[in-house]
Amino acid sequence: MQIEIDAEPFVYRMPTEHTALMLIDMQRDFLEPDGFGASLGNDVSLLRPAVDACARLLALFRAQGMPIFHTREAHRPDLGDCPPAKRLRGNPSLRIGDEGPMGRILIAGEEGTEIVSECYPQPGETVIDKPGKGAFYKTDLAAHLERLGITHLVVGGVTTEVCVQTTLREANDRGYECLLVEEATDSYFPEFKQATLAMIRAQGAIVGWTASFMAVEDGMKSSTRI
């Protein structure tokens, strides 16, 4: 079934059997105090609104039985997949791999690397650990999407201009039709969020579409009434 979502810069036509929800990096390390985001000097409370919206998106897609992907920015314990250029850049209070209050920063299996409880994956949902900002880089995401026949991605997560935008651009280059849900993404820099939303949908959806949560909900609920 094809549904229509009132999106910008124009309507987003979503074939439900070829669409997946993808939530990017809704991890404690970015969303809670004492994690990686805070170690970089950020106010993590700025990302809280996205948690609620992502949880509501999850409920919507789960109710329809549609495929759901979660990503985590997570490195191997030996840091073999973390280039020194990434680990050593800047002057964070804790670097990737350092022991923090929630375990080793951004290391697979550690508490801080886990997805927050509100958005925690359920059985049957796919979790992709990625060493980069983009979810396609050095992951098997593309193979999963191809196997399921996915052509359309509805996206939320953090942070808007870093991992979310990188993933949207990677997906766009691979031919996916992407919709970013406005309330379901946040940045440590609110002006960067707004700029990213604007640049994604500019030039006739040069990277993709944006829509409010309500527009997505209205579109999906209208489909269930048909």
Residues taking part in catalysis: 25, 130, 163
Distance CA 35, CA 172 (A): 30
For residues 37 and 219, which CB has a smaller minimum distance to ligand TIU in the complex?
Answer: 37
Which residues partner with 19 through β-bridges? 152
Residue 29 found at the interface with ligand TIU (CB under 6 A): no
Q: Which of residues 120-159 bind ligand TIU (CB under 6 A)?
A: 158-159
For residues 37 and 156, which CB has a smaller minimum distance to ligand TIU in the complex?
Answer: 37
Residue 196 found at the interface with ligand TIU (CB under 6 A): no
Among 23, 26, 27, 31, smallest CA distance to 62 is for 23
Q: Which of residues 57-76 bind ligand TIU (CB under 6 A)?
A: 73
Residue 32 found at the interface with ligand TIU (CB under 6 A): no
Residue 206 has a CB neighbour count (10 Å cut-off) of: 12
x/- mask, ligand TIU, residues 33-52, rule CB under 6 A, reads ----x--x------------
Among 68, 75, 60, 86, smallest CA distance to 162 is for 86
* Binder of ligand TIU out of 66, 102, 105, 162 (CB under 6 A): 162
Distances (CA, A) of 111 to 11, 80, 107, 144, 182: 40, 20, 9, 26, 28
Nearest approach in angstroms of CB 164 to ligand TIU is 7
User: Encoding tokens for residue 119?
Assistant: 């958005």
User: Encoding tokens for residue 109?
Assistant: 């299996």
For residues 60 and 162, which CB has a smaller minimum distance to ligand TIU in the complex?
Answer: 162
- Contacting positions for ligand TIU (CB under 6 A): 25, 30, 37, 40, 73, 158-159, 162-163, 188
